[in-house]
Protein backbone atom coordinates (compact mmCIF):
# COMPACT_ATOMS: atom_id res chain seq x y z
CA UNK A 1 0.00 0.00 0.00
CA UNK A 2 1.41 3.36 -1.08
CA UNK A 3 1.61 5.97 1.66
CA UNK A 4 0.46 9.43 0.45
CA UNK A 5 3.29 11.97 0.55
CA UNK A 6 3.40 14.50 3.33
CA UNK A 7 2.66 18.12 2.46
CA UNK A 8 1.59 21.35 4.13
CA UNK A 9 -2.05 20.29 4.18
CA UNK A 10 -1.69 16.96 6.01
CA UNK A 11 1.06 17.95 8.48
CA UNK A 12 0.22 19.93 11.61
CA UNK A 13 2.69 22.05 13.57
CA UNK A 14 2.49 21.55 17.34
CA UNK A 15 3.96 24.29 19.53
CA UNK A 16 4.21 23.67 23.30
CA UNK A 17 4.25 27.09 24.95
CA UNK A 18 5.07 28.32 28.44
CA UNK A 19 5.30 32.08 28.92
CA UNK A 20 6.16 32.78 25.29
CA UNK A 21 4.54 36.21 24.86
CA UNK A 22 7.82 37.62 23.55
CA UNK A 23 7.83 35.70 20.27
CA UNK A 24 4.83 33.37 20.03
CA UNK A 25 3.06 35.50 17.40
CA UNK A 26 6.16 35.40 15.23
CA UNK A 27 6.56 31.63 15.72
CA UNK A 28 2.93 30.90 14.81
CA UNK A 29 2.96 33.29 11.86
CA UNK A 30 6.08 31.63 10.48
CA UNK A 31 4.61 28.16 10.91
CA UNK A 32 1.44 29.15 9.05
CA UNK A 33 3.55 30.16 6.06
CA UNK A 34 4.56 26.52 5.63
CA UNK A 35 1.69 24.48 7.13
CA UNK A 36 -2.04 25.11 7.05
CA UNK A 37 -2.69 23.86 10.58
CA UNK A 38 -0.98 24.93 13.81
CA UNK A 39 -1.83 23.63 17.30
CA UNK A 40 -0.51 25.64 20.25
CA UNK A 41 -0.60 24.04 23.69
CA UNK A 42 -0.39 26.69 26.41
CA UNK A 43 1.08 24.90 29.41
CA UNK A 44 -0.24 27.12 32.18
CA UNK A 45 1.40 30.39 31.12
CA UNK A 46 0.97 33.35 33.43
CA UNK A 47 1.81 35.97 30.80
CA UNK A 48 -0.10 37.02 27.66
CA UNK A 49 0.72 33.88 25.64
CA UNK A 50 -2.86 32.55 25.51
CA UNK A 51 -4.35 35.97 24.71
CA UNK A 52 -1.95 36.44 21.79
CA UNK A 53 -2.56 32.96 20.39
CA UNK A 54 -6.35 33.16 20.75
CA UNK A 55 -6.37 36.02 18.24
CA UNK A 56 -4.58 33.92 15.61
CA UNK A 57 -6.10 31.40 13.12
CA UNK A 58 -4.84 28.34 15.01
CA UNK A 59 -6.06 25.73 17.47
CA UNK A 60 -5.32 26.67 21.09
CA UNK A 61 -5.31 24.07 23.87
CA UNK A 62 -4.84 25.30 27.43
CA UNK A 63 -3.61 23.64 30.61
CA UNK A 64 -4.89 25.49 33.68
CA UNK A 65 -1.62 24.69 35.46
CA UNK A 66 1.85 23.87 34.29
CA UNK A 67 2.19 20.16 33.48
CA UNK A 68 5.51 20.11 31.66
CA UNK A 69 6.64 19.78 28.07
CA UNK A 70 5.85 16.08 27.88
CA UNK A 71 2.19 16.66 28.79
CA UNK A 72 1.96 19.56 26.33
CA UNK A 73 3.32 17.40 23.51
CA UNK A 74 0.98 14.53 24.38
CA UNK A 75 -1.99 16.91 24.23
CA UNK A 76 -0.87 18.30 20.89
CA UNK A 77 -0.29 14.84 19.44
CA UNK A 78 -3.73 13.66 20.58
CA UNK A 79 -5.39 16.66 18.95
CA UNK A 80 -3.47 16.08 15.71
CA UNK A 81 -4.53 12.43 15.67
CA UNK A 82 -8.15 13.38 16.38
CA UNK A 83 -8.05 15.66 13.35
CA UNK A 84 -6.49 12.97 11.16
CA UNK A 85 -3.11 14.51 10.35
CA UNK A 86 -0.48 12.28 8.78
CA UNK A 87 2.40 13.78 10.76
CA UNK A 88 3.34 16.51 13.22
CA UNK A 89 6.20 18.98 13.21
CA UNK A 90 7.12 20.27 16.66
CA UNK A 91 8.63 23.69 17.30
CA UNK A 92 9.43 25.51 20.52
CA UNK A 93 7.58 28.74 21.19
CA UNK A 94 10.66 30.85 21.95
CA UNK A 95 11.67 31.48 18.33
CA UNK A 96 14.77 29.29 18.44
CA UNK A 97 13.57 27.19 15.49
CA UNK A 98 13.15 28.60 12.00
CA UNK A 99 9.80 27.85 10.40
CA UNK A 100 11.54 27.96 7.02
CA UNK A 101 13.06 24.56 7.90
CA UNK A 102 9.62 22.89 7.96
CA UNK A 103 9.60 22.08 4.21
CA UNK A 104 13.06 20.53 4.60
CA UNK A 105 11.83 18.27 7.40
CA UNK A 106 8.83 17.24 5.28
CA UNK A 107 11.08 16.49 2.29
CA UNK A 108 13.33 14.35 4.46
CA UNK A 109 10.29 12.48 5.85
CA UNK A 110 9.06 11.72 2.35
CA UNK A 111 12.52 10.47 1.43
CA UNK A 112 12.82 8.39 4.62
CA UNK A 113 9.38 7.02 5.56
CA UNK A 114 8.85 5.44 8.98
CA UNK A 115 11.49 7.70 10.48
CA UNK A 116 11.45 10.53 12.96
CA UNK A 117 13.08 13.53 11.32
CA UNK A 118 15.20 15.58 13.67
CA UNK A 119 16.18 19.21 13.12
CA UNK A 120 19.80 18.83 14.25
CA UNK A 121 21.50 22.06 15.30
CA UNK A 122 24.68 21.52 13.27
CA UNK A 123 24.91 24.89 11.50
CA UNK A 124 26.65 27.77 13.34
CA UNK A 125 27.16 25.40 16.24
CA UNK A 126 29.90 27.65 17.60
CA UNK A 127 27.19 30.06 18.81
CA UNK A 128 25.84 27.39 21.15
CA UNK A 129 27.12 27.77 24.74
CA UNK A 130 29.84 25.22 25.48
CA UNK A 131 27.91 23.66 28.32
CA UNK A 132 24.90 23.08 26.05
CA UNK A 133 27.12 21.42 23.44
CA UNK A 134 28.61 19.20 26.15
CA UNK A 135 25.15 18.31 27.42
CA UNK A 136 23.89 17.55 23.92
CA UNK A 137 26.85 15.32 23.10
CA UNK A 138 26.44 13.40 26.35
CA UNK A 139 22.71 13.04 25.73
CA UNK A 140 23.34 11.72 22.21
CA UNK A 141 25.67 9.07 23.58
CA UNK A 142 23.17 7.87 26.18
CA UNK A 143 20.06 7.92 24.01
CA UNK A 144 21.92 5.99 21.29
CA UNK A 145 22.17 3.10 23.77
CA UNK A 146 18.41 3.20 24.22
CA UNK A 147 17.63 3.38 20.49
CA UNK A 148 20.26 0.90 19.32
CA UNK A 149 21.78 3.32 16.80
CA UNK A 150 23.71 6.58 16.87
CA UNK A 151 22.08 9.95 16.29
CA UNK A 152 22.91 13.65 16.56
CA UNK A 153 21.23 16.39 18.61
CA UNK A 154 18.85 14.06 20.40
CA UNK A 155 17.59 17.00 22.49
CA UNK A 156 16.34 19.12 19.60
CA UNK A 157 12.74 20.29 19.98
CA UNK A 158 12.24 20.66 16.21
CA UNK A 159 11.19 17.28 14.86
CA UNK A 160 8.75 15.61 12.49
CA UNK A 161 6.86 12.64 13.91
CA UNK A 162 4.94 10.32 11.55
CA UNK A 163 1.43 9.18 12.46
CA UNK A 164 2.61 5.83 13.80
CA UNK A 165 4.77 7.52 16.42
CA UNK A 166 1.95 9.88 17.40
CA UNK A 167 -0.19 6.81 18.12
CA UNK A 168 2.26 5.24 20.58
CA UNK A 169 0.53 4.63 23.88
CA UNK A 170 1.89 4.98 27.41
CA UNK A 171 5.23 6.54 26.48
CA UNK A 172 6.80 7.09 29.92
CA UNK A 173 8.61 10.20 31.03
CA UNK A 174 7.61 13.75 31.86
CA UNK A 175 9.10 17.12 31.01
CA UNK A 176 12.09 16.94 28.69
CA UNK A 177 12.47 13.22 29.43
CA UNK A 178 9.47 12.56 27.17
CA UNK A 179 11.37 13.79 24.10
CA UNK A 180 14.17 11.34 24.82
CA UNK A 181 11.85 8.44 25.61
CA UNK A 182 9.72 8.81 22.49
CA UNK A 183 12.84 8.23 20.36
CA UNK A 184 13.55 5.05 22.32
CA UNK A 185 9.93 3.84 22.25
CA UNK A 186 9.63 4.49 18.51
CA UNK A 187 12.84 2.55 17.85
CA UNK A 188 11.90 -0.43 20.02
CA UNK A 189 8.19 -0.71 19.31
CA UNK A 190 7.98 0.47 15.69
CA UNK A 191 11.49 -0.04 14.33
CA UNK A 192 11.71 3.70 13.58
CA UNK A 193 15.00 5.26 12.62
CA UNK A 194 16.01 8.89 13.09
CA UNK A 195 17.10 11.08 10.20
CA UNK A 196 18.75 14.40 11.03
CA UNK A 197 18.34 17.51 8.91
CA UNK A 198 21.00 20.16 9.67
CA UNK A 199 19.45 23.39 10.94
CA UNK A 200 20.92 26.58 12.34
CA UNK A 201 21.83 26.90 15.99
CA UNK A 202 20.15 30.02 17.38
CA UNK A 203 20.90 31.49 20.79
CA UNK A 204 21.12 34.98 22.20
CA UNK A 205 24.58 36.30 21.40
CA UNK A 206 26.54 39.53 21.23
CA UNK A 207 26.61 39.23 17.42
CA UNK A 208 22.81 39.32 17.07
CA UNK A 209 20.02 41.60 18.23
CA UNK A 210 17.51 38.72 18.32
CA UNK A 211 15.82 38.32 21.69
CA UNK A 212 15.16 34.93 23.26
CA UNK A 213 13.68 34.23 26.67
CA UNK A 214 15.75 32.27 29.15
CA UNK A 215 15.65 28.57 28.36
CA UNK A 216 13.31 26.38 30.40
CA UNK A 217 15.93 23.60 30.11
CA UNK A 218 17.87 23.36 33.38
CA UNK A 219 21.11 21.85 32.23
CA UNK A 220 22.20 19.77 35.21
CA UNK A 221 18.75 18.99 36.61
CA UNK A 222 17.13 18.04 33.30
CA UNK A 223 20.19 16.27 31.94
CA UNK A 224 20.32 14.19 35.12
CA UNK A 225 16.61 13.37 34.76
CA UNK A 226 17.11 12.33 31.13
CA UNK A 227 20.28 10.35 31.85
CA UNK A 228 18.93 8.44 34.84
CA UNK A 229 15.75 7.61 32.92
CA UNK A 230 17.64 6.40 29.83
CA UNK A 231 20.09 4.34 31.92
CA UNK A 232 17.12 2.62 33.54
CA UNK A 233 15.61 1.92 30.11
CA UNK A 234 18.87 0.48 28.77
CA UNK A 235 19.47 -1.76 31.78
CA UNK A 236 15.90 -3.02 31.83
CA UNK A 237 16.08 -3.91 28.14
CA UNK A 238 19.10 -6.13 28.68
CA UNK A 239 21.53 -7.65 26.13
CA UNK A 240 23.99 -4.75 26.32
CA UNK A 241 26.53 -6.53 24.13
CA UNK A 242 24.04 -6.76 21.27
CA UNK A 243 23.04 -3.11 21.71
CA UNK A 244 26.70 -2.10 21.61
CA UNK A 245 27.28 -4.02 18.36
CA UNK A 246 24.22 -2.43 16.74
CA UNK A 247 25.32 1.05 17.82
CA UNK A 248 28.70 0.47 16.22
CA UNK A 249 27.09 -0.69 12.96
CA UNK A 250 24.62 2.21 12.70
CA UNK A 251 26.14 5.69 12.30
CA UNK A 252 23.92 8.79 12.36
CA UNK A 253 21.91 9.45 9.20
CA UNK A 254 22.09 13.06 8.04
CA UNK A 255 20.00 14.24 5.10
CA UNK A 256 20.37 17.81 3.87
CA UNK A 257 17.67 18.65 1.30
CA UNK A 258 19.10 20.60 -1.60
CA UNK A 259 22.55 19.08 -1.25
CA UNK A 260 23.81 16.35 -3.60
CA UNK A 261 22.60 12.95 -2.42
CA UNK A 262 23.09 10.48 -5.30
CA UNK A 263 22.77 7.40 -3.09
CA UNK A 264 19.77 7.57 -0.71
CA UNK A 265 21.03 6.46 2.70
CA UNK A 266 18.92 4.02 4.60
CA UNK A 267 18.01 5.20 8.05
CA UNK A 268 19.16 2.98 10.90
CA UNK A 269 16.69 0.54 12.31
CA UNK A 270 17.04 -1.42 15.52
CA UNK A 271 15.80 -4.52 13.73
CA UNK A 272 12.74 -6.48 14.71
CA UNK A 273 10.38 -4.24 16.69
CA UNK A 274 10.34 -5.12 20.34
CA UNK A 275 8.12 -4.06 23.19
CA UNK A 276 9.83 -1.74 25.59
Confidence band, pLDDT 50/70/90 cuts, at residue 101:
very high
| pLDDT tens-digit readout, 19-69 | 999 999 999 999 999 999 999 999 999 999 999 999 999 999 999 999 999
Q: SS3 of 195, please?
A: strand
Q: What pLDDT was estimated at residue 45?
A: 96
Order of strands across the sheet with 11-17? Answer: 59-63, 37-43, 11-17, 87-90, 159-162, 115-123, 193-200, 253-254
Which residue would you say has higher pLDDT here, 17 or 121?
17
| pLDDT tens-digit readout, 207-219 | 556 666 666 555 5
Q: What pLDDT was estimated at residue 259?
A: 66
pTM for this one? 0.82
Pick the CATH number of 11-205+213-254 from 3.90.550.10, 3.40.50.10490, 3.40.50.200, 3.40.50.720: 3.90.550.10
Distance CA 47, CA 268 (A): 42
Distance CA 136, CA 152 (A): 8
204 class by beta-carbon count within 10 Å (0-12 exposed, 13-18 middle, 19+ buried): middle
Distance CA 75, CA 71 (A): 6
| Count of other CB atoms within 10 angstroms of residue 17 | 28
Q: What angle do CA 32, 36, 41 make, to 5 degrees?
A: 70
Q: What is the mean pLDDT of residues 109-130?
A: 84
Percent of the chain with pLDDT over 90: 57
Q: From residue 18, how far is each of 48, 72, 89, 216 by CA, in Å?
A: 10, 10, 18, 9
Which residue would you say has higher pLDDT here, 17 or 203?
17
When the pLDDT of each residue in the chain is averaged and rounded to a whole number, the result is: 83
When mean pLDDT is compared across 30-34, 109-113, 233-237, 252-256, the lowest value belongs to 233-237
Distance CA 67, CA 72 (A): 7
Distance CA 91, CA 37 (A): 13
Q: What is the mean pLDDT of residues 219-245?
A: 64
- Phi, psi torsion values for 110, nearest 5 degrees: -70, -30
| pLDDT tens-digit readout, 126-171 | 666 656 666 677 778 888 888 889 999 988 999 999 999 999 999 9
CA nearest to 36, candidates 80, 95, 98: 80
Where along the chain do its domains lie?
A: 11-205+213-254
Percent of the chain with pLDDT over 70: 71
Amino acid sequence: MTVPPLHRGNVAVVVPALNEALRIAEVVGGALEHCDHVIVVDDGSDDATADIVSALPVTLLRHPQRQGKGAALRAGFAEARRRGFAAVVTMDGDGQHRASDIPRLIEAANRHPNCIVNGARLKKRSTQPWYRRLGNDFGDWGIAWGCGYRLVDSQSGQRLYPAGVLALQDVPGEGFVFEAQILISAARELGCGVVSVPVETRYRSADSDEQFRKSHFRLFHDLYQITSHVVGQVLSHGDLADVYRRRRRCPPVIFDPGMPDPEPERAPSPGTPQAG
